[in-house]
Structure 1
Amino acid sequence: MERLKGKNIVITGASGGIGAEIAKLCAARGANLVLLARNIDKLQVLQRDLQQHHHVKVAVFQLDVSDTDKIKEVFTQIFATVQYVDILVNNAGFGIFHAVHEATIEEIKGMFSVNVVGLMACTSMVLPKMRERHSGHIINIASQAGKIATPKSSVYSATKHAVLGYTNALRMELADENVYVTAVNPGPIATNFFTIADEKGTYVKNVQRFILQPEYVAQKIVNAMLTRTREINLPRWMNMGSVIYTLFPRLFERIGKKAFNQK
């Protein structure tokens, strides 16, 4: 409980879902927060709630992480406010479930701009000070989709594959800098993610019994903060699928074809 007390934690995509739940848990443990999202109204409501119930500092900034110029501007303001960042949680992201031939160029660019480029840009803003201080933690929210690509999530899976590749390389680069790097690979979570990703509701209906609660995912993430945790895979049994897929890809795709096409 004491590990996070007084630490400065930046969370992107903090206006709802696991971002907001992470913020609540960190505030309860005495951390100072910088919350970023596109919806400033929701951030301000969360800010008031956290400050009312916990004696911590909470700053909020409106930010669309697809706007790299805005990222530079906002992080300049962040460093003027908190001087340095102990933990960055790259949580902002979205997906759209379409067959490859149905995905528009705008959707493809949008997902890569937010899920990949935005994540990299935010990370680049905090890394110099973390390296200088030989202290810090980068937590990137990836997905089980980054390990197993499935039909109708080709672009989303591609972005999460990219996040995992970037995260793994970054971890090795920082191995001697005392800066930790963690990838979080959850399965489906009960958030508004699927409002955009699954317009017809087919996927949610088919995986209802497997859907994770955001509070549970957030708890696992917060418990791992400032520890040398390589990956958090949720649920743990689902990660076994990626191990089997790596060893027996053709068999896995043949057997799993029916289940994968339920989106």
Structure 2
Amino acid sequence: MRIRRNRSVDDKKIIVTGASKGIGREIAKEIAAQGGIPILVARSQALLEELAEEIEADNGISKVYPIDAFSKEAIEEQIVQMMENEERIHGLINNAGFGIFDAVEDLNIEDVEEMFQVNVLAGMQYAQGFLPHFLQFKGKSHIINIVSQSAKLPTPKTAGYAASKQAMLGFTDILRQETRESSLTVTSVNLGPVKTTFFEAADKNGKYQQNVEKYMLQPEKVASKIVRSLFTNKREINMPWWMEAGSIFYRLFPGLMERILKSQFDKK
């Protein structure tokens, strides 16, 4: 039984980047189930078409826009294509992203550059590219950026990933301030670990996933909460609540929290 249907999603076109798997896939399915039209963006055309077929089998509608890579040139071309093909786009969910967990001394700078390109610059480019479109209409529009609790509660071995998410959170907060007089809502989604394929790249030895598996969020639950928030005046979504509470205490008492939670912080 579906709970608390968000009727403002009906017939709305909403871009979901990184839609081929994980949280993005569940968000796209939930948008379609709620009567919206997810615009599916990812690098795997085969997985996108498979998802589109699944949505259609459930009597939903979707649009497929594969992208070879989340490069500046490819995104620029894709934005132009979408603007030509779609009369009105109502929302953007910047979900594409990945992480690699390494100590600072072991960082591969090329990995860090790619994390910043996918996790930060791509999302900024999509948001900037569609911003004039969103602002020209009187009806509500929404940009949701999937960030991470790592942006608020950084832990060892996440230097590159946490830095990219801190950058995206800062961008989101500033975009919200700059558009506060408009009908555009800007929301950050700050998540703890979610049970997806994210950890296949991030945590190659499986140690962290094994240590936190019992605390992991289910992607379907995350997607449901995000879609229910679409076109509402939601500033942030923070999951799980206790990790958000920990991040607040960390900002107030960083040294104390690092001492108390050392064993938790070192689970990677």
Mapped pair 1:186 → 2:191: yes
Equivalent in 123, 126, 150 of residue 122 of structure 1 = 126
Secondary structure in 1 matching 2:136: helix
Q: Tell me what 2:32 maps to.
A: 27
Q: Do structure 1's residue 98 and structure 2's residue 105 form an aligned pair?
A: no
> Residue 49 of structure 2 aligns to a residue in which SS?
helix
Query: Equivalences for 1:26-65 in 2 at 5 Å?
Result: 26-56=31-61, 58-63=62-67
Q: Which amino acid aligns with 2:56?
A: Q
Of 83, 89, 92, the residue aligned with 2:87 is: 83
Per-residue CA distance 1:103-131 (angstroms, 9 max, x = gap): 11111101001000011011111101111
Q: CA deviation at 1:52?
A: 2.3
TM-aligned CA deviation for residue 173 of structure 1: 0.6
Aligned to 2:117: 113
1:59 CA drift (Å): 1.4
Post-superposition Cα deviations, 1:50-103, rounded to whole Å, max 9, x if no partner, equal 1221242x2111125631111111111112221221110000000000001111
Question: Which residue of structure 2 aligns with residue 7 of structure 1?
Answer: 12
Structure 1 counterpart of 2:254, from 249, 252, 256? 249
**Does residue 195 of the first structure (1) align with residue 208 of the second (2)?**
no
For 2:147, give the aligned amino acid. Answer: A
Q: TM-score normalized by structure 1?
A: 0.97
Aligned mate of 1:74, from 73, 78, 83: 78
Q: Is the 8 A contact 1:65 1:92 kept in 2?
A: no
Paired AA for residue 88 in structure 1 = L
Distance between the aligned counterparts of 1:11 and 1:66, measured in 2?
A: 13
Residue 152 to residue 190, structure 1, CA distance change in 2 (3 Å): same
CA, structure 1 residues 117+145, in 2 after alignment: closer, same or farther (shift >3 Å)?
same
Which runs of 5 or more residues in structure 2 are unaligned? none
Instruction: Give the letter for the 1:18 counterpart.
Output: I
Distance 1:204 1:19, change over 3 A: same
Contact 1:151/1:261 (<8 A) preserved = yes
Q: What TM-score results when the alignment is normalised by the length of structure 2?
A: 0.95
- 1-structure distance, mates of 2:60, 2:208: 41
1:179-222 CA deviation, whole Å, 9 max, x = no partner?
00000011000000000000000000111111011000001100
Contact 1:34 1:78 in 2 (8 A): no
Q: In the aligned structure 2, how far is the partner of 1:241 from the partner of 1:55?
A: 39
**Structure 1 residues 154, 48: CA separation in 2 closer, same or farther (over 3 Å shift)?**
same
Q: Deviations over 1:159-193 (max 9, x none)?
A: 11111100000001110011000000110000000
- Structure 1: distance between partners of 2:193 and 2:60: 33
Q: Is the 8 A contact 1:75 1:125 kept in 2?
A: yes
Structure 1 spans left out of the alignment, 5+ residues:
none
Decide whether the 8 Å contact of 1:65 with 1:118 is kept in 2. Answer: no
**One-letter amino acid of the counterpart of residue 22, structure 1:** I
Report if the CA contact (8 A) 1:22-1:219 is conserved: yes
- 1:230-258 Cα offsets, whole Å, 9 max, x none, are 00000111100011011111101111112
What RMSD over aligned residues (CA atoms) do the two structures have, in Å? 1.0
Letter of the aligned partner of 1:11 in structure 2? V
Alignment of 1:152-171 (within 5 A): 152-171=157-176
